[in-house]
Amino acid sequence: MFSKVLIANRGEIALRILRACKELGIQTVAVHSTADSNAMHVRLADESVCIGPPPAKDSYLNIPAIMAACEITGADAVHPGYGFLSENARFARILEEHKVTFIGPSSHHIEIMGDKITAKQTAKELGIPVVPGSEGEIKTPEEAIALARGMGYPVIVKATAGGGGRGMKVARDDEEMRIALFTARTEAKAAFGNDSVYIEKYLQKPRHIEVQLMGDGKGNAVHLGTRDCSLQRRHQKVLEEAPAPTVPMDQQLRIGEVCAAAMRKLKYSGAGTIEFLYEDGEFYFIEMNTRVQVEHPVTERITGVDIVYEQIRVASGETLSIKQENVNFYGHAIEVRINAEDPQTFAPSPGKITFYHPAGGVGVRVDSAVYQGYSIPPYYDSLIGKLIVYGRTREECLQRLRRAVDEFVVDGIKTTLPLFQRLIKEPDVIAGNYDIHWLEKFLAANKA
Ligand code: ADP
């Protein structure tokens, strides 16, 4: 086991990792920008190192500064969390070269899954169902149009290097196809420095369903069931639940097993998530994330597996402690993302928290790194906490969520808590009857 882990992240996930390390008896090193000197992860870590000024590119994405922090503190492993450097194959490789363990998959697996065309081809070869589309990169409008006509419109143009919903454009006819190809390319070039795009069938009313996976790099892998993350705004998840409420359990277990078998074949190590769109009873692979996800706690709640603890264990060379036959699913869990944003306009709302009272009680977990008197800096994403509730049934879970959201107080800044107060009264949300477009439509209809 490691003796000292450097946590290359901030906010709630830095704290989540820190807690797992403490429980494992591992020393922790926090790194932080000058804007985060008073952050909770810095206060609670055994040691901390300032790695640069506020902009993420100069601090949390600053590989030389993080490598220097490893050197100074003698950390033997780095946990990247999510976002920032978590899916950066180059960072993983540099750590490998410096004999510091990257708590995550091999740089090779990050690379395969980071390029969407390669990821899709790999998924297909591993027997995972994919969205119908082009075999690889699309070069000319003529090629795109011929393919789209063959598949039938609408189609979606997606950036090979895509992420965060950027570089995606929908086309409903030949004319739109020409425009979509051009704009997706331009956007991808600007965002990722790579203008390679591909096309796939545009699914009209799918749900976003994902499978949580865990492997040990020795050919052992398990799935920890599904999550439904269909409630999204601008392709960003807002509420997640486990298990997926509308997919029959036997089908969930089947897709889980297909994914776990794929991970065994790849000898995948660490936590990973395979994301699917689900429409008319069929799963279609869209991408794989090679890291821990924001919404991992709902899976932890219904399986009893500590995902971050397992990540650290397998990275240190231990065998997976879980066997598929011992993974059981209990009840239902829902997570809502509390963002420092205006609940109507979603404009960021950084600033000082003047009063803070998190929800508590039976079946409630709060993962957050804020405290009363803390000032949320304007430089990073707006997630300030996650409220995770559990119930023996989905109905009980929703009742508890209602109570917990009412109890939660964050004063001094605007948060998305009022949005959840509205959402949990909606008949479609109560019934679990929503697709990936539901929230945008709800927000548009409730603007006035
Ligand atoms: P990113 O990596 O940018 O997040 P994804 O491939 O994961 O991109 O897609 C993000 C979201 O875009 C999905 O959750 C879904 O809402 C939408 N999307 C992606 N591909 C399709 C498709 N073929 N049909 C319909 N919607 C899609």
- The residues pairing with 197 across neighbouring beta strands, listed in sequence order, are 159
Catalytic site residue from 16, 185, 207, 291: 291
For residue 426 and ligand 1, the question of a CB distance below 6 A is answered with no
Q: 163 alpha carbon to ligand 1 midpoint, in Å?
A: 9
| Mutation pick for ligand 1 pocket among 197, 274, 286, 441 (CB with most ligand atoms within 8 Å) | 286
Q: What is the 8-class DSSP label of residue 56?
A: G
Name the segment(s) of the chain with CATH classification 3.30.1490.20.
132-201
Pick the CATH number of 207-445 from 3.30.160.60, 3.20.20.70, 3.30.470.20, 3.30.360.10: 3.30.470.20
Active site residue 291: yes
Name the segment(s) of the chain with CATH classification 3.30.470.20.
207-445
pLDDT at position 163, please? Answer: 81
pLDDT at position 256, please? Answer: 98
- Sequence-ordered list of residues with C-beta below 8 angstroms from that of 422, at least 6 positions apart, any chain: 446
Residue nearest to ligand 1 atom 20, measured at CA:
286
- Closest C-alpha among 307, 334, 324, 306 to residue 245: 334
User: Radius of gyration of the chain from Cα atoms?
Assistant: 21
Q: 65 alpha carbon to ligand 1 midpoint, in Å?
A: 34
For residue 235 and ligand 1, the question of a CB distance below 6 A is answered with yes
| Mutation pick for ligand 1 pocket among 168, 240, 441 (CB with most ligand atoms within 8 Å) | 168
pLDDT at position 162, please? Answer: 86
Q: What is the mean pLDDT of each run of 10 residues along the chain (448 residues)?
A: 98 98 98 98 98 98 98 98 97 97 98 95 97 94 95 95 86 96 94 93 97 98 98 95 97 98 98 98 97 98 98 98 96 98 96 98 98 97 97 98 98 98 97 97 86
4-88 in CATH: which number?
Answer: 3.40.50.20
Q: 199 alpha carbon to ligand 1 midpoint, in Å?
A: 12
For residue 228 and ligand 1, the question of a CB distance below 6 A is answered with no
For residue 203 and ligand 1, the question of a CB distance below 6 A is answered with yes
Let me know if 325 is exposed, middle or buried by CB neighbors in 10 A (0-12, 13-18, 19+): exposed
Name the segment(s) of the chain with CATH classification 3.40.50.20.
4-88
Q: What is the 8-class DSSP label of residue 348?
A: B
**DSSP codes joined into one string, 307-330:** HHHHHHHHHTTPPPS--GGG----
Q: 384 alpha carbon to ligand 1 midpoint, in Å?
A: 25
For residue 202 and ligand 1, the question of a CB distance below 6 A is answered with yes
**DSSP codes joined into one string, 237-272:** EEEEEES-TTS-HHHHHHHHHHHHHHHHHHT-EEEE
132-201 in CATH: which number?
Answer: 3.30.1490.20
Q: How far, in Å, are 103, 112, 434 from residue 284 at the CA level?
A: 29, 18, 18
For residue 275 and ligand 1, the question of a CB distance below 6 A is answered with yes
pLDDT at position 81, please? Answer: 98
Handedness of CA 198, 188, 203, 118 (dihedral sign): positive
Q: 202 alpha carbon to ligand 1 midpoint, in Å?
A: 9
pLDDT at position 167, please? Answer: 84
